[in-house]
């Protein structure tokens, strides 16, 4: 974001949030503002209690909130407003951060090259070779509505909404966007990405702003959302992960968080009100598919531990260990792996399809004016209840796109098929015991597994609403697919998910098999395959 825009966005976001609270206070009385401040203090206090008390940043924050608390006890009326204003501005300052413009300009030119090194695990010397881009192309496959997405940039502002399985997603997508010749996407990244030595470098180029997931106060979330909205209005395309966090189970997201998603509609109405030249917002669903996921082990463990409970925030996973990340990358690169990014057909803010010219279309392909959805008596208006429902409809359209454009790979099919067979052979075991013990037999006959793989693939092919099949599934027979998956399962993870011994498939790390198999959860395989089926929870 350009520096003058950044400052403006920072100020506007804080101002709009406080103004909205002031409006509410006008209707509900000043007690309301006091309640908001107390709620914020409470959440911040609790968060800070868990931080290291000798840390300078923590001390400064504690001092700030103690000051606010002291004043709150003495003040009322209009002074409450200035307190709220101070807290809000502190949040917006934190979110936007203090970027050094010189660093920003440096990263804009250097980072894509740096990322190339990371992705190809190549030596810096190779950077100079002209074939680098081509080599990278071998590992990163970008497909789907690429041309349309590029074209829509001229017609309005984009919100790219990808599936989320790894911290690498934002980097990989950032790189894809660079290859497509598009400007960086603005992105709210977790603080851990800023402290991670490998990625802090990239975050700036992605136009990242800081999101502290540990801050749970409603006021903080309001400022975050408002910042996203202001940046969209300034014409900066954004990247939102609509699932909220990385998928713990490995499944493609089927429920989305509506908060951030709804800012697109807000920005659209504001654009119309301000009579901006290109008011349209386009939502671009996108799937990122990996044969192996960097953090798979931690994610599935967290999922199994936390089913039914509130999940914790993972801070210490594979991603925080640079050596692990490099091992992951160089391993999958040496296997000629592909990370497949698929852009789905772009949508408008209520979930209608959009054509190449940026026009919204109804389900029968007839042009629709998106303005009509937010118009009342010829004027664009906000309506919270209506807009929430529009966002629900948009979210349903995104979920359908994920299901349709998810690229299924050998590891997913073999994970699914092997777990289904294990479940079938051990009907008396619940999922947890099955995962721990593996049941009666330590291995499966590969011929039997191959039959199940064929059944799964046939059922997926038969499904009119997706998914896409990866290259190796389209070309290879079941045994080749199993071999391919075993090659991947044998690399990178601490313990291979499975290995081959003669004609047997030895399942070793069943949590991982479950994790990769869960990628197929959205396709109703239970009904399609009868009893030969398993999925968690």
Partner 1 sequence: MTDETVGVIGAGSWGTTLAKVLGENGRRTLLWSRRSELCQEINATRRNEVYLPGIDLPTTVEATHDLERVSASAQLLLLVVPSHGLRQIAYELGDHVSGEHVIVHATKGIEQESFKRMSEVLREETCVRKIGVLSGPNLARELALGQPTGTLIASRYDEVFRRCHATLHNGYFRVYWGEDVVGAEVGGAFKNIVSLASGIATGLGFGDNTRALLVTRGISEMARLGMTMGANILTFAGMAGIGDVVATCFSSLSRNHQVGLRLARGESLAEIQGGMNMVAEGVKTSKAVHSFALRKGIELPIVRAVHRVLYEGQDVQSAVRELMATPTGAEFLVSLPS
Which residue pairs from 396-400 have beta carbons closer than 8 angstroms and sit at least 24 positions apart in sequence? 396/351, 397/285, 397/347, 397/351, 397/352, 398/161, 398/242, 398/256, 398/261, 398/283, 398/285, 398/347, 398/351, 399/253, 399/254, 399/255, 399/256, 400/465
Residue 389 lies near partner 1 (rule: CB under 8 A)? yes
Distances (CA, A) of 383 to 371, 380, 436: 14, 10, 51
126, 200, 330, 392: which one contacts partner 1 (CB under 8 A)? Answer: 392
CA nearest neighbour of 183 among 196, 170, 174: 174
Distance of alpha carbon 523 from alpha carbon 517, whole angstroms: 12
CB of 268 to partner 1, least distance (A): 12
Q: Which stretch binds partner 1 (CB under 8 A): 21-29, 294-302, 358-366, 468-476?
A: 358-366
Q: Which of 59, 386, 479, 487 binds partner 1 (CB under 8 A)?
A: 386
* Candidate segments 38-46, 363-371, 491-499, 518-526, binder of partner 1 by CB under 8 A: 363-371
Cα dihedral 484/490/491/494 (nearest 10): 150
Distance between CA atoms of 417 and 261, rounded to whole angstroms? 35
Is residue 362 close enough to count as binding partner 1 by CB under 8 A?
yes
Q: Counting contacts by CB under 8 A, is residue 463 touching partner 1? A: no
C-alpha distances in Å from residue 20, one per residue of 24, 180, 219 = 6, 39, 11
For position 398 contacting partner 1 by CB under 8 A, the verdict is no
CB of 377 to partner 1, least distance (A): 8
- Minimum Å gap between C-beta 387 and partner 1 is 10
Task: Give one word for 55, left, alpha or beta, with left for phi > 0 and alpha for psi -120 to 50.
Answer: beta
> Binder to partner 1 among 393, 451, 454, 483 (CB under 8 A)?
393
- Part in contact with partner 1 (CB under 8 A); list of ranges 6-14, 135-143, 359-367, 486-494: 359-367
In DSSP terms, which residues pair with 140 in a beta bridge?
339
Closer to partner 1 at the Cβ: 53 or 377?
377
Q: Which CB, 125 or 364, lies closer to partner 1?
A: 364
| d(C-alpha 536, C-alpha 518), whole Å | 8
In the complex with partner 1, the residue whose CB is nearer, 122 or 375, is 375
d(CA 262, CA 224): 12
Residue of 532, 531, 478 whose CA lies nearest to 505? 478
**Region 469-508 residues binding partner 1, contact defined as CB under 8 A:** none
Shortest distance, CB of residue 335 to partner 1, whole angstroms? 43
* Choice between 161 and 397, CB closer to partner 1: 397
CB of 261 to partner 1, least distance (A): 16
Is-contact 374 268, C-beta < 8 A? Answer: yes
Closest CA to 148 of 363, 342, 287, 407: 342
**Cβ-based nearer residue to partner 1, 318 or 387:** 387
Count of residues touching partner 1 (by CB under 8 A) = 23
For residue 293, what are the contacts with CB-CB under 8 A and spacing of at least 6? Answer: 165, 166, 250, 299, 515
Residue 466 CA to its chain's centroid (Å): 20
Stretch that binds partner 1, among 44-52, 128-136, 309-317, 389-397 (CB under 8 A): 389-397
Q: Which is nearer to partner 1, 133 or 376 (CB)?
A: 376
Nearer to partner 1, 260 or 374 (CB): 374
Phi first, then psi: give them for residue 505, nearest 5 degrees. -105, 110
385 is a contact residue toward partner 1 (CB under 8 A): yes
| Element housing 512 (H / E) | helix 510-517
428 lies in the binding site for partner 1 (CB under 8 A): no
Q: Is 357 near partner 1 (CB under 8 A)?
A: no
Q: Is-contact 522 459, C-beta < 8 A?
A: no
Is residue 464 within the footprint of partner 1 (CB under 8 A)? no
- Print the binding letters for residues 146-185 with partner 1: x by CB under 8 A, - otherwise: ----------------------------------------
363 makes contact with partner 1 (CB under 8 A): yes
Q: Is 390 or 492 the residue whose CB approaches partner 1 more closely?
A: 390
Q: For the CB of residue 392, give the shortest distance to partner 1 in the complex, in Å.
A: 7
Closest contact distance (angstroms) between CB of 390 and partner 1 is 7
Scan residues 90-109 and list those touching partner 1 (CB under 8 A): none
Distance CA(436)–CA(510), nearest Å, equals 8
* Nearest distance in Å: CB 452, partner 1: 23
- Closest C-alpha to 148, from 355, 287, 400: 355
Closest separation between CB of residue 369 and partner 1, Å? Answer: 6
Q: Which of 350, 414, 481, 529 is the binder for partner 1 (CB under 8 A)? A: 350
Site string for partner 1, 364-383 (x = CB under 8 A): x-x-xxxxxxxxx------x
Nearer to partner 1, 53 or 365 (CB): 365
The 3-state DSSP class for residue 161 equals: strand
Contacts made by residues 310-315, CB under 8 angstroms, sequence distance 24+: 311/245, 311/248, 313/213, 313/214, 315/192
SS3 309: coil
* Phi, then psi, of 144 in degrees rounded to 5: 95, -145
Is the CB of 370 or the CB of 496 nearer to partner 1? 370
- Minimum CB distance to partner 1 smaller for 290 or for 533: 533
- Closer to partner 1 by Cβ: residue 93 or 393: 393
**What is the binding site for partner 1 (CB under 8 A)?**
350, 352, 360, 362-364, 366, 368-376, 383, 385-386, 389-390, 392-393
């Amino acid at each position: 974001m350009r520096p003058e825009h950044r400052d403006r966005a920072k100020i506007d976001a804080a101002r709009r949030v406080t103004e909205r609270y002031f409006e509410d206070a006008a209707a509900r009385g000043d007690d309301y503002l006091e309640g908001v401040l107390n709620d914020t203090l409470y959440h911040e206090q609790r968060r800070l209690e868990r931080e290291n008390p000798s840390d300078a940043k923590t001390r400064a924050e504690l001092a700030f909130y103690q000051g606010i608390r002291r004043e709150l006890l003495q003040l009322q009326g209009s002074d409450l407003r200035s307190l709220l204003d101070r807290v809000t501005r502190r949040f917006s300052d934190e979110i936007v951060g203090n970027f050094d413009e010189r660093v920003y300009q440096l990263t804009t030119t250097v980072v894509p090259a740096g990322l190339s090194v990371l992705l190809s695990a190549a030596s810096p010397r190779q950077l100079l070779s002209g074939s680098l881009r081509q080599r990278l192309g071998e590992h990163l496959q970008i497909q789907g509505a690429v041309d349309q997405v590029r074209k829509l940039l001229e017609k309005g502002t984009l919100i790219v909404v990808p599936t989320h399985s790894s911290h690498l997603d934002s980097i990989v997508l950032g790189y894809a966007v660079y290859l497509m010749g598009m400007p960086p996407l603005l992105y709210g990244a977790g603080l851990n990405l800023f402290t991670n030595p490998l990625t802090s470098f990239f975050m700036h180029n992605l136009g990242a702003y800081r999101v502290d997931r540990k801050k749970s106060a409603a006021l903080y979330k309001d400022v975050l959302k408002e910042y996203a909205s202001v940046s969209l209005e300034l014409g900066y395309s954004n990247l939102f992960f609509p699932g909220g966090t990385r998928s713990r189970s490995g499944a493609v997201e089927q429920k989305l968080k509506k908060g951030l998603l709804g800012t697109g509609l807000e920005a659209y109405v504001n654009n119309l009100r301000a009579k901006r030249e290109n008011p349209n917002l386009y939502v671009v669903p996108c799937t990122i598919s990996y044969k192996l996921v960097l953090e798979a082990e931690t994610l599935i463990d967290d999922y199994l531990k936390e089913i039914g409970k509130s999940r914790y925030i993972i801070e210490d996973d594979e991603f925080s260990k640079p050596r692990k990340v490099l091992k992951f990358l160089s391993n999958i690169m040496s296997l000629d792996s592909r990370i497949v990014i698929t852009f789905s057909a772009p949508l408008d803010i209520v979930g209608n399809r959009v054509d190449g010219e940026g026009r919204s279309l109804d389900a029968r392909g007839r042009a629709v004016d998106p303005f009509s959805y937010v118009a009342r008596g010829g004027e664009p208006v906000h309506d919270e209840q209506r807009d929430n429902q529009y966002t629900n409809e948009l979210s349903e359209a995104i979920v359908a796109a994920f299901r349709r454009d998810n690229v299924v790979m050998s590891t997913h099919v073999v994970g699914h098929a092997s777990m289904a067979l294990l479940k079938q052979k051990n009907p008396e075991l619940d999922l947890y015991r099955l995962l721990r013990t593996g049941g009666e037999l330590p291995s499966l006959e590969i011929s039997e597994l191959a039959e199940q793989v064929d059944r799964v693939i046939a059922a997926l092919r038969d499904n009119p609403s997706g998914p896409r099949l990866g290259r190796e599934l389209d070309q290879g027979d079941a045994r080749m697919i199993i071999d391919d998956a075993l090659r991947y399962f044998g690399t990178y993870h601490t313990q291979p998910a499975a290995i081959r011994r003669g004609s047997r498939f030895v399942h070793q790390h069943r949590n991982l098999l479950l994790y990769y198999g869960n990628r197929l959860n959205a396709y109703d395989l239970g009904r399609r395959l009868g009893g030969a089926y398993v999925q968690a929870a």
